[in-house]
Amino acid sequence: MPEGNIIHRIARIHRRWLVGRRFTADSPQGRFSTEARRLSGRTLEGVDAHGKHLLYLFEGGVRLHIHLGLFGHMRHFRSGAPPPSPACRLRLASPHAAFHLAGPQACELLSSEAEATLRSRLGEDPLRPDASPARAFEALRRGRAPLATALLDQERISGVGNILRAEALFLARLPPLRPASELRLADFERLWEALRLLMEDAARDGRIVVPHAPPAPWETPGKRREDRFCVYDREGQPCPRCATPISRLTLASRGLFFCPGCQDTGSAGKPARRPRAVPVERTRAPRARSRA
């Protein structure tokens, strides 16, 4: 579910609703009970987001690190919180705000040293005010990885997930399989700007909607998710820019969507390579989805 934009949105909401409140903490699922007892009764002093990581600072210097991973699920309530699901790993509750966390990849208490180590491993986050595009450019160009692979490497740029990767490369008109080392500064600047705009909008609105996506009645019930996107999950559908059918490859076990017609500036070096990227047939027919 979450890419960096969602994590920043959660952090903003929690700064507004939760910071300054004293919480009781428990772990209905039981896997975080000992740590929850340490959190219980403390006031939350700050929330920060870096890439896909959430970092909470509680009274007394107690630090909570959450990474939602692929399955993680966060619900927050200002009042009337329902009973937590049996899978709820951590519940923080106060009279006026609460959150329920289920299925996170990481939910742990960290020392300040461990938190510093974690942060030092993370690349530039386009949504952080302290992000340096110059450092991101340098990190992205390291090694021979294809651009699409480098973009998902959180040590180069943090917060980019599979949807943002596909849509930002599309908006910047960049071929995903070209070696990242061949990226020119002008190409990078388009890419960084596309990432920043997509993530800013999505952090504000709560979902990724790509400019120039095909018009669709997406505010109405029954709207298909891929109508928010130009290329992601649109295999075989016409590119909104040039009408070429969108391609899907599997790269490092992740679906990679792009337009083979217009995602090439023709500017840098060799044409896109296709090492170990294999066109994948769906294991079953796409499910029929009804339009509203």
Partner DNA sequence: TTCCGATGGCCAC
Partner DNA sequence: TGGCCCTCGGAAC
Residues taking part in catalysis: 2-3, 52, 254
Question: And the tokens for 212?
Answer: 């120039």
Give the residue with the Cβ less far from DNA, 95 or 285.
285
What would the x/- binding string for DNA be over residues 9 to 28, using CB under 7 A? --------------------
DSSP state of 63: E
Q: Does 196 bind DNA (CB under 7 A)?
A: no
| Strands lying side by side in the sheet with 44-50 | 44-50, 53-58, 62-67, 106-110
- 162: alpha, beta or left? (left if phi > 0; alpha if psi -120 to 50): alpha
Count of C-beta atoms within a 10 Å radius of residue 184: 14
Q: Which of 15, 63, 73, 184 binds DNA (CB under 7 A)?
A: 73
Give the residue with the Cβ less far from DNA, 79 or 283.
283
How many positions of this chain bind DNA (CB under 7 A)? 35
CA atoms within 13 A on the CB side of 179: 8
What would the x/- binding string for DNA be over residues 50 to 69, using CB under 7 A? -xx--------------x-x
Question: And the tokens for 71?
Answer: 């399955």
Burial class of 12 by CB neighbour count within 10 A (0 to 12, 13 to 18, 19+): middle
Residues binding DNA (CB under 7 A): 1-3, 6, 29, 51-52, 67, 69-71, 73, 85, 87, 102-103, 105, 152, 154, 160-163, 208, 225, 252-255, 276, 283-284, 287-289
